[in-house]
Structure 1
Amino acid sequence: MSQHTGRPGSETELPAPGGGRLWAERGGSGSPVVLLHGSGMDSRLWDAVLPELVRHHDVVRYDARGLGRSAAPGRPFDDVGDLRAVLDHFGLERAALVGLSMGGETALDFALAHPERVTALGLVGASVSGHDWPPSPETGAYAEARRRGDAAALAELELTVWAAMGRTAPGGELVAAMVEENAARRIVSEHFLAGAPERPAEPRLGEVTAPTLVVHGDRDHPEIAAIAERLAAGIPGARRHLVPAADHYLPLRTPERLADLLLTHLAH
């Protein structure tokens, strides 16, 4: 696996609920922030943003179950439970949560389940539980690749649909490495991932109490823009920013702009 470049501090492996280990890294000082990556990626997503964040905050990032350096699941699990385990392991009673895509969905679900533990939310190109994605040829192709267990097809779809700016754009080589290295792991992990929560987030956005920043790129999938609009309209006091020259892998495409937006939001 390619090496992390923006190391914030010390690495550790912590027990995952129900067995297995989660890889995590912590560094910096100040108010705590936890970074959550998207599906089929790993915590290298935050490499280019991390150096600036750790100058101002106590930052934790971790690899979701079965991805990156975290152990593959052997039984059903849920991402909200894993996030709670990470916070508990590091003794963080409260923290800001910044998540991209699936990581944003997990952060939002956690904020609704445990509002007392979340000081702020940063939702970057986020998905949201309970959202009805419109049918399309690409969603059908994803389902077929998963059904066949075809990691190569899944990686190709990910890079075509979600990394539209390609390998030559900023962060392109790392995007491709993450996607290709995690494709087979993703199929295993998603097989054991619990389904939507009993109380999905989309109908409950008005219950979110944490100050929320919604960020998405102008080259991201059109449905991400629709979700961002829904999040910004539904979450009380949420602020929305459209970032130019960024697709779904926004933290690697425009890291300086994202770091600036996050630090301003977290300083409030």
Structure 2
Amino acid sequence: MTTELIPVAGGSHIWAEKAGDGPPLVLLHGSVHDSRLWNRVFAALARHHTVVRFDARGHGRSTLPTAPFRYGDDLLAVLDRFGFQTAGLVGLSMGGEVALDFTLEHPERVGSLTLIAASAGGHEWSQSPELDEYAAAHRASDARRIAELELRVWASLGDRAPGYDVIEPMVRENSEVGAAAEKGHALNPDEDAVDRLDRIKVTTMVVLGDHDHPEISVIARRLADGIPGARLEVVADADHCLPLRAPGRLLELLLGSDGFVDRRGGRSNR
């Protein structure tokens, strides 16, 4: 395994880790997560792929933004730094949204797409007291409240389910800086992904935990219905932090007998 600090626009740096050999696979985490989200699958994936995980700008060991930036541009910098002309993208939540937008903008750089508990640009979320409270905490950059709500709403299986020993400190640490990073992200409202799903031509799998928030289920089915040929998988005993809650099933989906990604980055014929 090797680690790198990758320079990106505005004088910031992205921390990245690479391991293994084979077709490139890049892992993207959620909004108050970092690369620890993939702790329970990274080594196994590296037995089949050149796999890269990285901390999004302002998360984990990456530096905070000093100017407006785009997560997709940072992903492009990661691909270029490691010399990946194409790569499979596996993104969770915000990371799924980034992967989706990147696939629409740079289709020639994406070999396959796995969207886990993904958000999607242009999707109008239903209103609820807990989501309103969550949005208010982000607007106020209230790190303590963000962490509390994140653990209650998005890690709903709690501390008795697998992975909580990673989830709890990861969420609390990134709640301190994640809100500031997201406020630096430059969005383009004219480029909503949900209006362009039919343009995605790469093999796509949409993955959903059966204990995730109901709105994530709505988005997952919208993505599966809208992306040509997309496959929808519902994973038992998993909430929004699916790679830490159900790593074995996720690995089966990516690599196993009903595996999604073969050694060329396409759908397996096994």
TM-score exceeds 0.5: yes
TM-score (norm 1): 0.95
RMSD over aligned Cα, in angstroms?
1.0
Partner-residue secondary structure (3-state), 2:183: helix
2:74 aligned with 1:55, yes or no?
no
Partner-residue secondary structure (3-state), 1:121: strand
Structure 1 segments unaligned to the other structure (5+ residues): 1-8
Identity among equivalent positions (%) equals: 53
How many residues are paired up? 260
Give the whole-Å Cα distance in 1 for the aligned partners of 2:30 and 2:254. 17
Map 1:120-135 to 2 at 5 A: 120-135=112-127
Match of 2:29 among 37, 53, 61: 37
> C-alpha deviations, 1:139-165, integer Å up to 9, x for none?
221232123321100100000110000
Give the whole-Å Cα distance in 2 for the aligned partners of 1:29 and 1:258. 20
2:175 aligned with 1:180, yes or no?
no
Structure 2 segments unaligned to the other structure (5+ residues): none
Map 1:67-216 to 2 at 5 A: 67-216=59-208
Deviates more, 1:258-267 or 1:139-148: 139-148
Give the superposition deviation at 1:196.
4.4
Give the whole-Å Cα distance in 2 for the aligned partners of 1:252 and 1:197. 32
* Aligned partners of 2:10 and 2:65 also within 8 Å: no
* Aligned partners of 1:130 and 1:196 also within 8 Å: no
Give the superposition deviation at 1:198.
2.8
* Aligned partners of 1:129 and 1:196 also within 8 Å: no
Instruction: State the one-letter code of the partner of 1:77.
Output: F
Match of 1:265 among 242, 257, 260: 260
> C-alpha deviations, 1:159-208, integer Å up to 9, x for none?
01100001121001110111001111112111211124531110110000
Partner-residue secondary structure (3-state), 2:196: helix
Partner-residue secondary structure (3-state), 1:110: helix
* Aligned partners of 1:32 and 1:92 also within 8 Å: yes
2:38 aligned with 1:46, yes or no?
yes
